[in-house]
Amino acid sequence: MKTLLAIFILCIRTNVFPQTNFSKFNSDAYYSYQQNDFINAIKNFSKALEYKSEASNSYKIADTYINRGACRLMLQSYKSAQADFDEAIKIKPEYVKTYQVKSSAYLRSNQYQKSIDWADKGLEIKPNDAELKDKKAEALSKLKKYDEAIKVLFTVLEDNPQSKKANKYIGHNYQMKKNWDSALKYFSTAIILDPLDYASFFDRGIAYAESKDTVNAIKDIEQAMQLDTNERWVGYNNLGYFIKLEQKDYNGAIQMFNKAISLRPEFPYAYSNRGFAKLNLGDIKGAYQDVKKSLLIDSKNSYAYKNLALIYLKDGKKSDACYNLKKAIELGYTQEYDDDAQNLLNEHCK
């Protein structure tokens, strides 16, 4: 795994209402949401909408549709979520929040151009909205339009030079361009703005590692691990992947991945990475076991499919390797990482 990806979470906002049926079911839904009980949250938001005539204004009705859509989004019911957001737009077409969640929903379902289109529609209403610009930049980055993403994020910095998020995203896009010096610059600015932001230390550590500055890479990764001890598993995985594997210290890499797994047994990438290290030590059986364990945890892990293909190639099973390379590409390996899987497919599967 090459980067630590941020997970997008929609936060549902609730207000203090007079105790009407509309407000009661909204409150019940919000409680269910806090418990990660999205099914009951949806049921209660739906009940609230049966009493929408009691709402004090149409924004609260739009919020209820948005919040129900957010719950459906968490359950990966993308079409139903978008239908709810569309209802909110019908009620309040000027409500920028709806364009934000629509753009985010399309990001989650990997429909990046649609995410950009809806961000642009929202920006027509509120041209300087930083959240919409962030979503647009993220979608552009997913499409590998890194320069365009950076351009959008620079407009965020024009309005707010102190935006940590914009600096981090700019650093990420430069990182994807393999422009390590610029990546280091913007990750460093993010750290100056928030010296306790462990994620920026992880990101800068990766940039240092890629620029062959191992000393500072280890320093940053270890600093991130100290800032948030709950995320030490990320640090061990990064030390194994970016430092030990790069040094071809496969035994040392396995030790780091073992530590990551002991702290986070459900983390699929540590198994996939450990399998790759075992492959390079000639432990084909162990490599198979680890990568298949990774896929058992996350069947959509494109990186594991690419590693499984490498094992099959080493084991002389070309047809199985080709199947897994195609699966990796189908699941978005190229968009998420690089052209390795496609290059291997071209080389071995003509």
Q: Is 275 exposed, middle or buried (0-12, 13-18, 19+ CB in 10 A)?
A: buried
- The whole domain housing 168 covers 162-227
Nearest to 136, CA basis, from 172, 168, 103, 87: 103
Position 168 in a domain: yes
Asked if residue 198 belongs to a domain, the reply is yes
CA distance 210 to 187: 14
What DSSP string runs through 113-151?
A: HHHHHHHHHHHHHSTT-HHHHHHHHHHHHHTT-HHHHHH
- State phi, psi for 303 to the nearest 5 degrees: -65, -40
Cα–Cα distance for residue pair 319/291, rounded to 1 Å: 18
CATH number at residue 195: 1.25.40.10
Q: State residue 18's pLDDT score.
A: 52
Q: What is the pLDDT along the chain (350 residues), one digit of tens a residue?
A: 443 333 333 444 444 445 799 999 999 999 999 999 999 999 999 999 999 999 989 999 999 999 999 999 999 999 999 999 999 999 999 999 999 999 999 999 989 999 999 999 999 999 999 999 999 999 999 999 999 999 999 999 999 999 999 999 999 999 999 999 999 999 999 999 999 999 999 999 999 999 999 999 999 999 999 999 999 999 999 999 999 999 999 999 999 999 999 999 999 999 999 999 999 999 999 999 999 999 999 999 999 999 999 999 999 999 999 999 999 999 989 878 888 999 999 999 98
Residue 217 falls within a domain, yes or no? yes
What pLDDT was estimated at residue 319? Answer: 95
216: in domain: yes
The answer to whether residue 205 is domain-embedded is yes
CB distance 69 to 42 below 8 Å: no
Other C-beta atoms within 10 Å of 143: how many?
15
Query: Is there a domain that residue 274 lies in?
Result: no
Domains held by the chain: number: 1
Please state the pTM of the whole predicted model. Answer: 0.83
* Measured CA distances, 36 to 40, 62, 124 (Å): 9, 22, 34
Say if 220 falls within a structural domain: yes
Residue 341 lies in a domain: no
Q: Write out the DSSP string of 82-115.
A: HHHHHHHHHH-TT-HHHHHHHHHHHHHTT-HHHH
